[in-house]
Amino acid sequence: MESRKTKDLLFEQVARVGKAVASPKRLELLELLSQGEKTVEVLATEVSIDIKLASAHLKVLREARLVEARREGRFIAYRLSGDDIISLWLNLRSVAEKHLVELRVALDEIFSAPERLTAESRASLLEKARQGEVIVIDVRPEVEYRVGHLPFSRSLPLAEIERRLAELPPGKEVVAYCRGPFCLLSDEAVKLLCERGFRARKISDGVAEWAAEGLPVEVLAEA
Amino acid sequence: MESRKTKDLLFEQVARVGKAVASPKRLELLELLSQGEKTVEVLATEVSIDIKLASAHLKVLREARLVEARREGRFIAYRLSGDDIISLWLNLRSVAEKHLVELRVALDEIFSAPERLTAESRASLLEKARQGEVIVIDVRPEVEYRVGHLPFSRSLPLAEIERRLAELPPGKEVVAYCRGPFCLLSDEAVKLLCERGFRARKISDGVAEWAAEGLPVEVLAEA
DNA sequence: CCATCATTCTAATAATCTTTAGATTGTCAG
DNA sequence: CTGACAATCTAAAGATTATTAGAATGATGG
């Protein structure tokens, strides 16, 4: 059967993509990269693995063409090779969330108030943010805010919240978001804000989840 | 870092799904299962692997909750555990088709006339089929036709075409489809029909691709 | 109950992937 | 040109996965 062999080639190619997303660390890298271009050093630090190992995993992603590398001075910056890679990550995650009980249990254990948004609650949040009824804060590092953020949100990275508490009008409800449902940043931000007497909650959406619902995303122009 | 460890749990769960789709054979099984429920024996035969090996691969898919098993007399029938699994397969394949040159080359080598449909050509095909201007034939095994098929199509499995040539009105254009762009059945059907003097072409869509465009699919009620 | 058939389970080997450490490449600043 | 640094390459150990063959399970039909 000659045709069987050549047909297997097709599935092998798709399996290259499958193999690339078969490792938790590579998935974490993809999630980070969906927040924008990053250097190997930054990626390794965020995932808390050795740079050599990060480089090896990035090589696998690069060979499956899920990411692209670009030299930027002494650094090498990686980015997703297309928006369809973000969709693939969201798709994989949603299949896992739907079918794996273990994942739902783990999510419940890790996160305090896992508020999942519906189309309505997204629209109403957007409206309230527009009218200034709530303050939407983006607690990711500021670079990621610049690449894209929710409309009417302001950047207030977790690392700077304590120092910049005065920027938040007291009494007003604060809504924090970060990289998405697997990211702890907004969770810690809410804990911190509540301890300081703010009325704060978090939403599970990140920019990718928001955009996947067809909602608008704001971008700051490059310098 | 206690929180890091628990966070890794999340990505590990998604990676379970990734690992399940990291093997060409399992992807082939998923593609077959997206045409409907099938026994281990049928699956093993179609993928041309040993039943024991098929069973092992199905176990992996089952443990990742991508498929479910059901005992049916002496047989065990497997099915996808949801329509989102079909979407995942389509998503993986489309990422591979977009980013891996090797896949596009392989597709060109294997298939004679890879006619890819657009929204317009799908609509016009549907209209022509409705008016009887073209004969749309489903060349998959008849069971798969019963589970779901394109509107105004008739079942004419590849294995029976030669014997049932009389059913096709001569002169009329025949359009063949099968399981999708990775399936050889329609290709062979077209070759056979052209040799017998018919005006035949194939489309790359299968039922899943058709449905993913939001187009209607017909189902025959169970006996 | 026995024999049969479809499938799974178990155990063993081969193949592949992950991780680590050391050597190497390529860029920039002096 | 040299030193410092980011990142990759290479090689080897450890961990997982794929594949195969033989034994075990579970339903069926006599």
Interface test with A, best of B17, B28, B62, B103 (most A CBs within 10 A): B17
Statement: residue A5 has pLDDT above 90: no
Helical packing angle, B24-33 and B51-63, nearest 10°: 80
For residues A170-185, average pLDDT: 94
What rounded mean pLDDT belongs to chain B? Answer: 93
Compute chain A's Rg from CA coordinates. 19
Residues A89-114 pLDDT 10s: 999 999 999 999 999 988 888 776 55
Whichever domain contains B150, its CATH number is: 3.40.250.10
Identify the domain containing residue A199 by its residue range: 113-212
Residues B28-67 pLDDT 10s: 999 999 999 999 999 999 999 999 999 999 999 999 999 9
The answer to the question of residue B104 being in a domain is no
Q: SS3 of A116, please?
A: coil
Q: What is the pLDDT of residue B140?
A: 98
Kindly provide the residue ranges of all beta strands, DSSP E only, lying in chain B, ordered along the sequence.
Answer: 38-39, 67-72, 75-80, 134-138, 153-155, 173-177, 200-202
Least confident of A179-188, B1-10, B41-50, B164-173: B1-10
Residue contact B99–A7, C-beta within 8 A = no
B112 touches chain A (CB under 8 A): no
In a shared domain, residues A44 and A127: no
For chain B positions 3-62, those within 8 Å of chain A (CB to CB) are 3-4, 6-19, 21-25, 27-28, 31, 48
The confidence band for A176, taking pLDDT boundaries of 50, 70 and 90, is very high
Task: With CA atoms as reference, report the closest residue to B93 among B113, B112, B116, B109.
Answer: B116
Domain boundary, last residue among B65, B84, B103 = B84
List of chain A residues whose C-beta atoms are within 8 Å of the C-beta of residue B182: 7, 10-11
Half-sphere exposure of A133 (CA within 13 A, CB side): 7
Task: Please give the Cα distance from A146 to A135 (Å, whole number).
Answer: 18
Residues B175-216 pLDDT 10s: 999 999 999 999 999 999 999 999 999 999 999 999 999 999
Strand order in the sheet with B67-72: B38-39, B75-80, B67-72
What rounded mean pLDDT belongs to chain A? Answer: 93
The answer to the question of residue B10 being in a domain is yes
Q: What is the pLDDT of residue B112?
A: 67
The answer to the question of residue B101 being in a domain is no
For chain B positions 114-173, those within 8 Å of chain A (CB to CB) are none
Residues B109-130 pLDDT 10s: 877 655 677 888 899 999 999 9
Q: What is the pLDDT of residue B222?
A: 63
| Domains: count for chain B | 2
